[in-house]
Amino acid sequence: MSVQAKVRRVTPLMLSMLKGQRPIVSLTAYTTPIARLLDPHVDLLLVGDSLGMVLYGMESTLGVTLEMMIAHGQAVMRGSQTACVVVDLPFGSYQASKEQAFLSAARVMKETGCSAVKLEGGAEMAETVAFLTARGIPVLGHVGLMPQLVNTAGGYRSLGRNDKEAETIRRDAKSIEAAGAFAIVIEGTIEPLARAITESLTIPTIGIGASPACDGQILVSDDMLGLFSDFTPRFVKHFATLGPQISAAAAAYADEVKARTFPAIEHTFQPRAAALPDSDQK
């Protein structure tokens, strides 16, 4: 009897080696069922702190805790086999010191089994990134628009429109690369700048609201699936419109329950036929 070979996961190093070869396919995932559906089609599944807004209805990502990230990281690992799973470090879990960052990242990797962590920040976080990578923790960087800094950045807006902003983002990307990150997410950055940064780095860039020239792309899965209809960011494309379908399905279910047409008899469990006495079975 043959033994089925264990499927090998994509590693951070394998993602780094895709630069110049083909685009990296990335999506967010927060639950086991969604991870299971996305896993065969992507290189990277990001358990993003965007789950605070997407799943919990928070106004920003700032209320997300390390415990929440670990719980959802575990769920995504259960549902995936081949994708490289990266878990966000949430606000307040790594900024105080590089030692705090290591303790948080080590806990995430131990308790979830993920392959890497992601953290936001540029030049000011380079020392922390270097500290983590030197101690065996692969890091996915994140520059440009950084949701954890929304209160100091003046809200959610595209960046790099003036020379000062553009130079800051360039410096941030170079600093995080030099610190040892295996790739960098560029978010909410004007297209020519994201393109130029991608060309200047030796590690891959993964764009969201950036440039088609980035070495990969990522979207929030719920946005990609069209689960939200109240607001669609400019950089989002709906590859499905599941929101209206889910609402329609719920309405149909409600109608049938009220009309007592669901459940039908075939949806119920019936008593088994009583067993005959031994004397009658001979």
For residue 189, give the CATH number of its domain.
3.20.20.60
266 assigned to a ligand binding site: no
**Residues 177 and 92 occupy one common structural domain:** yes
Note whether residue 166 is domain-resident.
yes
Determine which one of 59, 167, 187, 191 is catalytic. 187
Please report the DSSP string for the chain in residue order. -PPPPPPPPP-HHHHHTTTTTSPEEEEE--SHHHHHHHGGG-SEEEE-TTHHHHTT--SSSTT--HHHHHHHHHHHHHH-SSSEEEEEPPTTSSSS-HHHHHHHHHHHHHHH--SEEE--BSGGGHHHHHHHHHTT--EEEEEES-GGGHHHHTSS--B--SHHHHHHHHHHHHHHHHHT-SEEEEESB-HHHHHHHHHH-SS-EEEESS-TTSSEEEE-HHHHTT---S---TT---S--HHHHHHHHHHHHHHHHHTT-SS-GGGS--PPPPPPPGGG--
Whether 3 maps to a domain, the answer reads no
* pLDDT tens readout for residues 80-117: 999 999 999 999 999 999 999 999 999 999 999 999 99
187 annotated active-site: yes
Going by pLDDT thresholds of 50, 70 and 90, the confidence category of residue 275 is low
Is the per-residue pLDDT at 200 higher than 90?
A: yes
Task: Check whether residue 166 and residue 254 sit in a common domain.
Answer: no
Is 115 labelled a binding residue?
Answer: no
Q: Is the pLDDT of residue 150 over 80?
A: no
Q: How confident is the model over 140-155, as a mean pLDDT?
A: 86
Q: pLDDT-based confidence at 6, cuts 50/70/90? A: low
Mean pLDDT of 177-188: 98
**282 marked among binding-site residues:** no
Is residue 2 in a domain? no
Average pLDDT over residues 161-187: 97
Instruction: Name the domain count of the chain.
Output: 2
Domain that holds residue 171: 12-241
Same domain assignment for residues 134 and 231: yes
